[in-house]
Structure 1
Amino acid sequence: MRVIATTVASALVLVCATGASVYAAPPTGPPVETALAPVVELSADRLATAELMAAAKWHSGDPVEAPEREETVLAQAERSALDLDGDPATALTVMRDQIEANKVIQRGRHAQWYARPEQGPEGAPDPTGVRAELDRITPALVGALTEAGAGLSAPDCEAGLERNVRRVAAERGLDRRGRAALRMALSSVCS
């Protein structure tokens, strides 16, 4: 009798333990911080083009504002999101932030060069090459947002995003302005 009671008790403990793990939160894939890493890295890649574009526009006399180009980039982001079964609204919102952050860097450089022309860029980068790099990054960034999926609305999204920003900023040697622009570029990632 004692053996049966012990066996039944052991079975109940096993069932309860198994039941508890079944009702625990299901695994959500990689941690949010890991899921967000490509989003932050690609955003930093995109911001790295701002210096080159600022120099190209400085030499050509083109304004920082380029509404037609911005619409092209936004349309590309929306198409990419649809092709990847991602959220077009998220892609558009994040891409608008990316564009604005890029323009903040460009405006800052232009203001610096107007104030001190001797510090202006010597060479004029080819804007076509810079735009081609942006066209490569945009669908990759939308893909990273799509891959991050539920991580974008996870409770620890902001914290994971900030840890990635600090890591990428340190790895790339971003100054205060660069870190602020990166945070601006990512301000709508977590919903």
Structure 2
Amino acid sequence: MRVLAAAVASALVLACATAASARTGPPVSPALAPVVELSADRLATAELIAAAKWHSGEPVEAPEREAQVLAQAERSARLLGGDPAFALAFMRDQIEANKVIQRGRHADWYAHPERRPRRAPDLAGARADLDRLTPALVGALADAGPGAPGCEAELAGAAHRVAAERGLDGSGRTALAVSLASVCAGWAQPAT
């Protein structure tokens, strides 16, 4: 329930900020753009992973795999001199966003058998892509540095641009908002 509330709140913030930025032009921070673009790259794997899990019978929830991704993010943050707690919160959002899409696809496939994927994609290949993206995401987050006032508006502008460029549908936009939920909140906390 907490995750759903956070997803709805993130989507509402993104929608409100997007509506406001549409009137004045989207303020896009060059520092935040790579974070948003890499988050969208990570989300692009979700449908393949959903299809692979559908065919294998694996559940969407994969606690052991999630623990591996989080450990990799923490190591990357430490190597980069970043805040490991911030990196972990950010990567938890990334994981949850991916699962939002996976759950949505599975629900759609249960309801509409004709839409089910006909073949199973390579889950190991998709996970290898995620393993390459994790340090890149943590690095982009570290490169972006502490958020300035207006972080939310800048992040929403970048998310709006990326969502439009990639043609994300409503669930894709919601998942992108979930993937970015900790970005500005994390900068509000001092690094320890």
TM-score scaled by length of structure 2: 0.81
Work out which of the residue numbers 159, 169, 184 in structure 2 matches 1:190: 184
Work out which of the residue numbers 147, 153, 168 in structure 1 matches 2:143: 147
Show the counterpart of 2:159.
165
d(CA) in 1 for partners of 2:76, 2:28: 22
Work out which of the residue numbers 57, 64, 68 in structure 1 matches 2:64: 68
Show the counterpart of 1:79.
75
Which amino acid is 1:160 matched to? E
d(CA) in 2 for partners of 1:63, 1:110: 10
Q: CA deviation at 1:189?
A: 0.3
d(CA) in 2 for partners of 1:32, 1:118: 40
Q: Which consecutive aligned stretches of 4+ in structure 1 deviate over 6 angstroms post-superposition?
A: none
TM-score scaled by length of structure 1: 0.81
SS at match of 1:171: helix
d(CA) in 2 for partners of 1:147, 1:167: 20
The count of residues paired between Structure 1 and Structure 2 equals: 159
Work out which of the residue numbers 161, 176, 179 in structure 1 matches 2:173: 179
Deviations 1:132-159 (A, max 9, x none): 00000000000000001123xx111101
State yes or no: 1:126 paired with 2:122: yes
Whether the 8 Å contact between 1:32 and 1:156 is mirrored in structure 2 is no
Q: Which has the higher contact order (CA 8 A, sep 6+)?
A: 2
Q: CA deviation at 1:32?
A: 7.2
Q: CA deviation at 1:38?
A: 0.3
Unaligned runs of 5+ in 2: 1-26, 186-192
- Larger Cα-atom Rg: 1
d(CA) in 1 for partners of 2:88, 2:70: 6
Work out which of the residue numbers 23, 36, 39 in structure 2 matches 1:40: 36
What is the RMSD of the two structures over their aligned residues, measured on CA atoms? 1.1
d(CA) in 2 for partners of 1:32, 1:143: 19
d(CA) in 2 for partners of 1:85, 1:46: 23
